[in-house]
Chain A
Amino acid sequence: MISNRHHGEPNAQRMGSIGRNVVQFRLPMLPPSDGVEWNAKVNDEEVSIIIESNAILLDVLRDRVGSLGTKRGCDMGTCGCCSVLINGEPRLSCLTLAVDTEQADITTVEGLADGHHLHPIQQTFAECGGSQCGFCTPGFLVVISALLSENSKPNDQEIKQAIEGNLCRCTGFQQIVDSVKAASDILVSGQAVSDSTLSKSDPHPGFGGD
């Protein structure tokens, strides 16, 4: 199945004639592109697939690699929801040609946790209210994980600069900053985040009365 040809067609062309009282004019579609081999490491797993030479990384990740955690918010680099790490650097996957990431090491939100041990920022995002609707969360998390791996004790200004490319409409950012600080505390203290599959509360406890 061929997919995602011509994803780059700008919206402006598609709706370009809106409102003008003339017959709609649209650019003809670009000719189909060639298939090329794409080899990359996504969340520590080798991926080797044939993609189209003009495929956008976001589409490849979502539709071919199965990283549905990488979100599509705007397709034009304005919202940051599609952020991933390419060789450790935060990048907007909606503005990245997949072929430009040949042989790259890519980390998406699915790759942050160590098995069932969450990354500290994942845990504190939940605990400190960094995530409300959660749609922008994956983008924030990968960007913040990059920040924390470089600088485990960032100050307010450093945090703000790191996440300035990410939009959140729910939280007003304040509890996101709180989450980063709490994650930083965990990292600095060296505590481990516990395994989420461990047994939780017993519905049938004994009497603990003293």
Chain B
Amino acid sequence: MSEKEDAPKEIVGYRQQPGKLPFSRPGSGGKGKFSESTDQEMIPESQGGKLAQEWGPHRHDELISGRVVGKSTALVDSSWKVTGQAHYGDDVRLPGELIGRIVRSPHHYARVLSIDCTKALELPGVVAVATGDDAKNRFGVLPVTKDEHAMAVEKVRHAGDLVACVAAIDEATAREAERLIQVEYELIDPIHDMREGLEDSGEPIHDRGDYHIGESNVQKRVFQEFGDVEGMIENSVASHKKNWIFAGVNHAFTEPHAVVAHWDPTGRLTLYTPQQVPHYVHRALADVLEIPMHQINVHRTFVGGGFGGKSDPFPHEMCAAILARKSGKPVRITFDREEVYWVNRGRHPSRIEMNLHADDEGRICGIETDALIDGGAFASFGHVTTYYNGVLHTAPYEIGAFHYTGARVWTNKPASGAMRGHGAVNSRCAVEVGLDDLAEKLSVDPISLRLANLLPPHSATITGFRVTSIGMRECLERVREESGWNKKFRKLPLGKGIGIGCGFFISGSGLPIHWDPNKFPHATVHLKIDMDGGVTIHTGAADIGQGSDTVVAQSVAEVLGLPLDMIRVKSRDSDTSPVDLGSYSSRVTFMNANAAISAAMQIREELLDATVEITGAERSGLIIGDRRIFLKKDPAVGVSYLEALHKSQEDRGALVASGAYRTPPMGKMHKGAAAGLAPAYSFSAYVTEVSVDVETGQIKVDKVWAAHDCGKALNPLAVKGQIIGSCHMGMGQVLSEEMRYGRSGNLMNPDLLDYKIPSIHEMPEVIPIIVESNDPEGPFGAKEAGEGPLLPILPSVCNAVYDAIGIRTSELPMSPEKVHKMIEKRCREEEVSDPNNLPSPSLQHSSLQGVLENRAKEHRIRDKDRRLDEGRSDYHNGALFGLDPTIPPDEVDPRWSVRVTPEEEYLKSPRLAGSAWKHTERRHAEGQK
């Protein structure tokens, strides 16, 4: 080897083509002259390597070159971030920029009678003002519920709603001008309590015409019944019932919203914005500005945290574009922290009734959920959220019946929307706490109860979702073992507790939000490789810090056997990026990496063809290693990557390829069947240890064992980061975070001082445990890791608090004063005067424990067989209750048929959200007249 290094002029391994002049080695000057030999530990067993595959082979195995997939990898854009050179929304500074400010409503609900901008326009330095009259077209993230305007048209719907905007030469002038714009309002009675939203109103917050539900503020209602609903109460031997109240929470990302709009001399608009979903902004801008989409370039800046809070098209983005159009200059709008709370889109404040039933065999024979969610003033993603509050807790357990009523109402608050764990977090918390209570009532271990009721891999849920890989059992077993559960549960002293919680989440949404044009792929990735050998990836996936650029770069590097420094990702401009639906629903790794792999596979084929042509080697024997393509059985026969590349570039220049991903057809046909459908699902189980100060009610989370099934960790460093970060965010919701509204509906804490996200001192030690269930459709087996990990932390903390002091909260966050009150109440019930003398919960197993353990053992074998058996038969939820697993139960048993509208009987005594069905849609009501 050293001999070769000493002879730098020789082009080692390069076979000169006959008839061609020798040319110097392009791109030389590199550090390593020789490619690294393949690390067999990274090559899957199915390809003859040493990487164990307990979960069987994968369709992408043959693409593994052993480079980067599965290795902890620094984010490819991290150098920009650590040097302060990453430019976020407010860092885009264009020459001649103006500063935009927004005039916001001081009232909760009012008609805008007049807006007088004269004084503002007279102020020196003010260049343009705009009001609702400048943009009358509606927009919204979901095409079915476009109910937002750039600025108020006719009415303002919450305090902080946009009324007008102004652009001036500097911020001080803009703020002064904002003050000089005079608005005359006529007040309308606002509603703040979500329960009021269910009633008829003199002036509903929005008017949906014929489709309006009565005269109420119900924006969306859902009724669903699956399984043996009649039988669930009859068969139950233990039931849990709880009415929950969940406070609204905000994403509290560190970067406040900011946007820059610029119309260039050709009349095209470029919008610079920290967006999770640039494509929907692109569409909304076209609607609002009444110009074609091709006249707009949406440039995604670095995004300073999203978590769902930067995924709607926002009115301030429209305002910047309108002001820039009017003024002829670039306009920059940056929010104060307070304004972040006025646009909100955080997790819905919710009232959830959760009833669970278990039968004498410890099976979950029924789940009844009623979820009323407070949407605030606009629809946002709420249509979907309303479904998700129900359908996303129909797994991972096999259940006998599912009854769900959900309603989302408009109130005069900043709009709720999508936030990490969209729609699933609150109801999941209620389910998991309910299971803990059921276990308590049945005198069994709560982990055993869960292990004996899991759906097997490759099965269908009661709602008809196709679930593929499931690592739930492994997650539960790992956290039970690593936390020392059996030695601790119900055995810790008063004030110390341990609790379990699980999660289940979609990995990408099966249906894209926009259906047109028909069959458009969910994700598309373009590759371009010119003679320098570097690979340029064009993708529209929005890197919001989760590492999507990195995962796409890793996927391409892996397939082509290249080091990451040869890959560059261009994902910013809609002008150059193929359409991607954006970073939401935990879809990016699954869909975008799949598209990237498919594009890279085309290049790989070209390189292999070229290698055959140069070497004459047998194609089937060729493999790709580090920057080298060679015969597996005789590595001396082969070519360098660049040599093969140049061969395939002959007569045509740069190689280009396009790969796309679209989900397969799935699911059932009933109304709402598409909500919750995903090409794969993630699973997680957390065990949490807490200390509760029994005298003050202060809760401290001490340690979390967090197991998450992400299919395959493409970048373990990032997966762990997502798990720990999820714990942080979920801990905030369960312990301290709350958008606090006062008695007159005012938001009391629109800042990071009073809106309390956990600081480093509140953070426990988190032990991230990665479970890899090797999803058959995931890229290299991967599934999501961004949202699912948030779900289990809430219930595991709640359950640990019960283990510590025997109280079960029904209200989040569990602030010390609430916990203190509950402790006092328990003291009265137990008739002890000193809380330190309260009895700590204990557990004496019933005979059912053995039944559950045996069933879990059998199912463990069943599941292992199913995950490896390619010829496995179908398995539908219901088999645990004696039905034929291979036939959907609703097709054979009329009791299991699906119902999506309530019967008259139900409406006589509906639950809270269910009462939304008392109203008749206007179009039907008119028909009745």
Q: Do A and B come from one complex?
A: yes
Measured CB to CB, the residues of A under 8 A from B are: 1-7, 9, 11, 14-15, 17-21, 24, 26, 29, 67-76, 78-79, 81, 108-110, 112-113, 118, 122-123, 125-129, 131-138, 141, 160, 163-164, 166-177, 196, 198-210
Question: How far is the CB of A178 from the nearest CB of chain B, in Å?
Answer: 10
Whether A3 and B636, one on each chain, are in contact in the complex, defined by CB atoms closer than 8 angstroms, is no
Answer yes or no: B792 CB below 8 A from chain A CBs. no
Stretch from B141-149, B302-310, B615-623 that touches the partner: B302-310
Assembly CA distance A210 to B757 (angstroms) = 56
Which residues of A lie under 8 Å from residue B56 when comparing CB positions? none
Within B645-668, which residues are at the interface with A (CB < 8 Å)?
Answer: none
Whether A209 and B30, one on each chain, are in contact in the complex, defined by CB atoms closer than 8 angstroms, is no
Question: How far is the CB of A32 from the nearest CB of chain B, in Å?
Answer: 8
Instruction: With A4-B172, A29-B179, A138-B84 as known contacts, state yes or no: A173 contacts B545, CB within 8 Å.
Output: no
A-B pairs with lowest CB-CB distance, top 3: A69-B84, A202-B30, A208-B34
Stretch from B684-692, B719-727, B898-906 that touches the partner: B719-727
Answer yes or no: B104 CB below 8 A from chain A CBs. yes
Instruction: With A118-B83, A201-B31 as known contacts, state yes or no: A74 contacts B11, CB within 8 Å.
Output: no
Assembly CA distance A160 to B758 (angstroms) = 13
Whether B171 and A7, one on each chain, are in contact in the complex, defined by CB atoms closer than 8 angstroms, is yes
Whether B93 and A78, one on each chain, are in contact in the complex, defined by CB atoms closer than 8 angstroms, is no
Which residues of B lie under 8 Å from residue A70 when comparing CB positions? 84
Whether B759 and A208, one on each chain, are in contact in the complex, defined by CB atoms closer than 8 angstroms, is no
Whether B27 and A202, one on each chain, are in contact in the complex, defined by CB atoms closer than 8 angstroms, is yes
Whether B751 and A11, one on each chain, are in contact in the complex, defined by CB atoms closer than 8 angstroms, is yes
Assembly CA distance A79 to B337 (angstroms) = 10
Which residues of A lie under 8 Å from residue B563 when comparing CB positions? 200-201
Assembly CA distance A26 to B84 (angstroms) = 37
Which residues of A lie under 8 Å from residue B176 when comparing CB positions? 29
Question: How far is the CB of B249 from the nearest CB of chain A, in Å?
Answer: 12
Answer yes or no: B861 CB below 8 A from chain A CBs. no
Please name 19 further chain A to chain B contacts, defined as beta carbons within 8 Å, in addition to the given A81-B254, A133-B544, sorted by A numbering: A5-B172, A11-B336, A19-B159, A73-B254, A76-B753, A109-B84, A118-B82, A126-B81, A129-B717, A131-B75, A132-B545, A133-B304, A133-B545, A135-B305, A202-B27, A205-B626, A206-B13, A207-B13, A208-B34
Whether A169 and B254, one on each chain, are in contact in the complex, defined by CB atoms closer than 8 angstroms, is yes
Instruction: With A17-B106, A204-B26 as known contacts, state yes or no: A133 contacts B253, CB within 8 Å.
Output: yes
Question: How far is the CB of A124 from the nearest CB of chain B, in Å?
Answer: 9
Instruction: With A202-B32, A203-B566 as known contacts, state yes or no: A18 contacts B84, CB within 8 Å.
Output: no
Q: Can you identify 13 A-B contacts, CB atoms within 8 angstroms?
A: A15-B338, A73-B337, A78-B751, A133-B544, A169-B251, A170-B725, A171-B728, A199-B29, A200-B31, A202-B28, A203-B627, A206-B12, A208-B1
Which residues of B lie under 8 Å from residue A21 when comparing CB positions? 107, 187
- A125 in complex: contacting residue of B78, B85, B172, CB < 8 Å: B78
Whether B82 and A207, one on each chain, are in contact in the complex, defined by CB atoms closer than 8 angstroms, is no
Whether B753 and A78, one on each chain, are in contact in the complex, defined by CB atoms closer than 8 angstroms, is yes
Whether B760 and A18, one on each chain, are in contact in the complex, defined by CB atoms closer than 8 angstroms, is no
- A203 in complex: contacting residue of B27, B253, B547, CB < 8 Å: B27
Answer yes or no: B512 CB below 8 A from chain A CBs. no
Which residues of B lie under 8 Å from residue A29 when comparing CB positions? 172, 175-176, 179
Answer yes or no: B387 CB below 8 A from chain A CBs. no
Which residues of B lie under 8 Å from residue A69 when comparing CB positions? 83-85
- A132 in complex: contacting residue of B88, B640, B721, CB < 8 Å: B721
Which residues of A lie under 8 Å from residue B61 when comparing CB positions? none
Q: Mark B101-121, 1 if CB is under 8 A from A, else 0.
A: 000101110000000000000
Question: How far is the CB of A54 from the nearest CB of chain B, in Å?
Answer: 11
Whether B307 and A175, one on each chain, are in contact in the complex, defined by CB atoms closer than 8 angstroms, is no
- A135 in complex: contacting residue of B88, B627, B636, B759, CB < 8 Å: B88
Answer yes or no: B370 CB below 8 A from chain A CBs. no
Whether A171 and B35, one on each chain, are in contact in the complex, defined by CB atoms closer than 8 angstroms, is no
Assembly CA distance A139 to B100 (angstroms) = 26
Question: How far is the CB of B294 from the nearest CB of chain A, in Å?
Answer: 30
Assembly CA distance A173 to B764 (angstroms) = 10
Instruction: With A201-B566, A206-B4, A210-B1 as known contacts, state yes or no: A67 contacts B84, CB within 8 Å.
Output: yes
Instruction: With A68-B93, A175-B720 as known contacts, state yes or no: A136 contacts B84, CB within 8 Å.
Output: no
Whether B336 and A204, one on each chain, are in contact in the complex, defined by CB atoms closer than 8 angstroms, is no
Answer yes or no: B761 CB below 8 A from chain A CBs. yes
Answer yes or no: B291 CB below 8 A from chain A CBs. no
- A205 in complex: contacting residue of B640, B729, B746, CB < 8 Å: B640
Closest to B732 in A: A169
Question: How far is the CB of A78 from the nearest CB of chain B, in Å?
Answer: 4
Whether A207 and B627, one on each chain, are in contact in the complex, defined by CB atoms closer than 8 angstroms, is no
- A204 in complex: contacting residue of B86, B252, B642, CB < 8 Å: B642
Whether B81 and A200, one on each chain, are in contact in the complex, defined by CB atoms closer than 8 angstroms, is no
Which residues of A lie under 8 Å from residue B254 when comparing CB positions? 71, 73, 79, 81, 133, 135-136, 167-169
Answer yes or no: B926 CB below 8 A from chain A CBs. no
* Residue of A70, A196, A205 contacting most chain B CB atoms (<10 Å): A205
Which residues of B lie under 8 Å from residue A174 when comparing CB positions? 724, 763, 765-766
Closest to B337 in A: A74
Question: How far is the CB of B580 from the nearest CB of chain A, in Å?
Answer: 18
Which residues of A lie under 8 Å from residue B85 when comparing CB positions? 69, 110
Whether A173 and B763, one on each chain, are in contact in the complex, defined by CB atoms closer than 8 angstroms, is yes
Closest to B76 in A: A126
Closest to B639 in A: A207
Within B1-60, which residues are at the interface with A (CB < 8 Å)?
Answer: 1, 4, 11-14, 25-37
Which residues of A lie under 8 Å from residue B252 when comparing CB positions? 169
Answer yes or no: B139 CB below 8 A from chain A CBs. no
Question: How far is the CB of B261 from the nearest CB of chain A, in Å?
Answer: 19
Whether A133 and B760, one on each chain, are in contact in the complex, defined by CB atoms closer than 8 angstroms, is no
Which residues of A lie under 8 Å from residue B25 when comparing CB positions? 204
Which residues of B lie under 8 Å from residue A133 when comparing CB positions? 253-255, 302-306, 544-545
Question: How far is the CB of A161 from the nearest CB of chain B, in Å?
Answer: 9
Within B725-777, which residues are at the interface with A (CB < 8 Å)?
Answer: 725-729, 744-746, 750-753, 757, 759-761, 763, 765-766
Assembly CA distance A41 to B253 (angstroms) = 32
Whether A134 and B545, one on each chain, are in contact in the complex, defined by CB atoms closer than 8 angstroms, is yes
Whether B760 and A164, one on each chain, are in contact in the complex, defined by CB atoms closer than 8 angstroms, is yes
Whether B546 and A132, one on each chain, are in contact in the complex, defined by CB atoms closer than 8 angstroms, is yes
Answer yes or no: B883 CB below 8 A from chain A CBs. no
Question: How far is the CB of A182 from the nearest CB of chain B, in Å?
Answer: 12
Whether A169 and B566, one on each chain, are in contact in the complex, defined by CB atoms closer than 8 angstroms, is no
Answer yes or no: B493 CB below 8 A from chain A CBs. no
Assembly CA distance A203 to B35 (angstroms) = 9
Question: How far is the CB of B729 from the nearest CB of chain A, in Å?
Answer: 7
Answer yes or no: B160 CB below 8 A from chain A CBs. yes
Closest to B645 in A: A203
Assembly CA distance A117 to B164 (angstroms) = 48
Assembly CA distance A78 to B753 (angstroms) = 6
Answer yes or no: B638 CB below 8 A from chain A CBs. yes
Closest to A68 in B: B91
Assembly CA distance A75 to B462 (angstroms) = 50
Whether A164 and B84, one on each chain, are in contact in the complex, defined by CB atoms closer than 8 angstroms, is no
